[in-house]
């Protein structure tokens, strides 16, 4: 849990706009005829919150609603849970709905679309933009764990880490035991089909980022004939093991940090005169925090929180300057900015409470995987990480899935969308969190995938500001023109 390499949070950036042509996706023929025929009782949004936990006023045309889903899809007539939805109504000639998942697992689609919706204004002309809190997240039976997140994040020593992981798992079972067996990606994919029907679409048009690519791929595997225009950006390869995932992501973050350091030095960097010195400076800062945490008001910037703070700006090139400024301030004894970066990663609000992002993430990851690494296996993986990118190494971390109260399974690792419309998979060469190699791997597993490559930096391509990527994706989503497999967009 403490290891950031195990997470797939969406890297924030800005959007702007090479395209390709091809045959329209099957959904294109009927899309223009779609009307708002859904069954959701939409109403004004009343509980939107920003990353700081403060209320957010909904933009014009934004509505919220709920639908019901079976707690257990194997028992459709049994107990139900509410799934929270949000939509921004199309501003022009409506094609239908475009459903988003922004990653995580564990990110709130309701809050994210409310904040980020303006970045998709071009698509909003033709589509109702729709997102949701997946099961186990926030308003949709969100996983709660008795206030244990602080303890887990602050546990440093080996005994503390394992004890904190065990207590965390026990608290999750006590507070959310009913939902824990049912928060997996296969269950969420079945919810997606309920959402498709509820918004009145014959086929699901979908834009998934990071973990959202996994959810989309699982949906396409289970409902290939219901796939409309699908884009998966920042692809995840579900077949990798925990160890493989950790090592690959460590390599990705190492490369991202190196790119950051070179860019920082090119612009007169406060952290060092050359990239090697920049990295050494940050490593030294973190090492000192192991024994001398920085006081920030009534809190402390610890080693593990600083680790999260350092990797957070690496998700997008646009946020690299934040890392330089925050680290430079911490070197002078002010840890405020680094602590704020860590809080943005963990979902900690100004009042000290947390969103469910960290608890939901753990619950979904553990259910989606039958692996239960031992302490010895975790230590072995950490040793490999330390050699690749020491900033990510976590000495003595507890492996929460080893204590998890419900078993996992590998059903969500099976990907095969044979029979679906073309699915556009976008991979970024400099992506630290979902490294590029996962994009061609997922494309191959889908059988119907079309690979688009962005030769730039950052986690995800569409929100990078690259005009070629945006035009390629928008042309497909709006006009149904499938890009050529192998389309490449320069940085």
Looking at the annotation, which residues are catalytic? 210, 431, 459
- Whether the CB-CB separation of 426 and 233 falls below 8 Å is answered with yes
From residue 124, alpha-carbon distances to 90, 118, 163, 349, 478 in Å are 5, 9, 48, 30, 10
Strand stretches in 210-346, DSSP E: 227-233, 294-296, 299-301
Residues 471, 168: Cα–Cα separation, whole Å: 45
DSSP 33-52: T--S------EE----B-TT
Q: What share of the chain is helix, strand, coil (3-state, %, to 5)?
A: 45, 15, 40
According to DSSP, residue 55 is labeled B
Three-point CA angle 163, 367, 229, nearest 5°: 140
Here the tokens at position 116 are 């980020």
Distance CA 463, CA 461 (A): 6
Sequential DSSP letters for 366-410: HHT------HHHHHHHHHHHHHH-GGG--TT---GGGG-SS---S
HSE value, Cβ hemisphere, 13 Å, CA-based, for 331: 16
Report CA torsion sign: 280, 329, 6, 447: negative
């Amino acid at each position: 849990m403490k290891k950031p390499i195990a997470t797939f949070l969406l890297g924030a950036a800005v959007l702007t706009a090479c395209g390709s042509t091809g045959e329209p996706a099957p959904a294109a023929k009927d899309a223009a005829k779609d009307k708002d025929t859904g069954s959701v009782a939409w109403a004004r949004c009343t509980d939107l919150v920003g990353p700081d936990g403060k209320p957010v006023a909904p933009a014009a045309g934004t509505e919220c609603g709920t639908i019901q889903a079976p707690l257990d899809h194997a028992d459709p007539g049994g107990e139900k849970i509410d799934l929270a939805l949000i939509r921004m109504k199309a501003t022009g000639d409506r094609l239908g709905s475009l459903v988003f998942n922004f990653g995580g697992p564990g990110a709130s689609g309701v809050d994210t679309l409310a904040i980020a919706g303006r970045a998709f204004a071009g698509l909003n002309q033709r589509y109702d933009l729709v997102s949701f809190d997946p099961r186990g997240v926030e308003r949709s039976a969100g996983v709660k764990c008795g206030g244990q997140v602080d303890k887990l994040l602050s546990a440093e020593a080996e005994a503390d880490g394992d004890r904190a992981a065990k207590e965390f798992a026990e608290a999750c079972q006590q507070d959310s035991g009913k939902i824990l067996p049912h928060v997996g990606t296969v269950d969420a994919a079945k919810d997606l089909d309920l959402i498709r029907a509820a918004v009145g679409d014959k086929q699901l048009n979908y834009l998934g980022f990071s973990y959202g690519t996994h959810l989309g791929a699982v949906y396409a595997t289970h409902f290939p004939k219901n796939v409309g225009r699908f884009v998966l950006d920042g692809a995840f390869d579900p077949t990798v093991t925990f160890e493989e995932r950790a090592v690959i992501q460590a390599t990705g973050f190492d490369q991202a940090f190196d790119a950051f350091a070179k860019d920082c030095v090119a612009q007169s960097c406060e952290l060092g005169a050359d990239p090697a010195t920049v990295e050494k400076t940050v490593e030294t800062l973190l090492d000192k925090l192991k024994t001398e945490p920085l006081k920030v008001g009534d809190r402390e910037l610890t080693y593990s929180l600083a680790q999260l703070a350092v990797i957070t700006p690496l998700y997008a090139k646009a946020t690299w300057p934040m890392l330089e400024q925050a680290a430079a301030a911490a070197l002078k004894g002010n840890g405020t900015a680094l602590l704020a970066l860590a809080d943005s990663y963990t979902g900690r609000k100004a009042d000290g409470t947390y969103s469910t992002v960290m608890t939901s993430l753990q619950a979904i990851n553990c259910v989606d995987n039958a692996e239960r690494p031992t302490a010895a296996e975790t230590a072995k993986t950490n040793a490999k990480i330390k050699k690749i990118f020491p900033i990510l190494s976590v000495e003595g971390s507890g492996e929460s899935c080893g204590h998890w109260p419900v078993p996992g399974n590998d059903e969500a690792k099976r990907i095969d969308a044979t029979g679906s419309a073309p699915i556009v998979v976008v991979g970024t060469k400099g992506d630290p969190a979902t490294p590029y190699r996962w994009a061609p791997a997922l494309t191959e597993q889908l059988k119907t995938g079309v690979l688009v490559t962005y030769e730039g930096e950052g986690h995800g391509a569409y929100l990078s500001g690259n005009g070629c990527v945006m035009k390629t994706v928008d042309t497909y989503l709006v006009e149904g023109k499938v890009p050529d497999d192998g389309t490449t967009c320069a940085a």
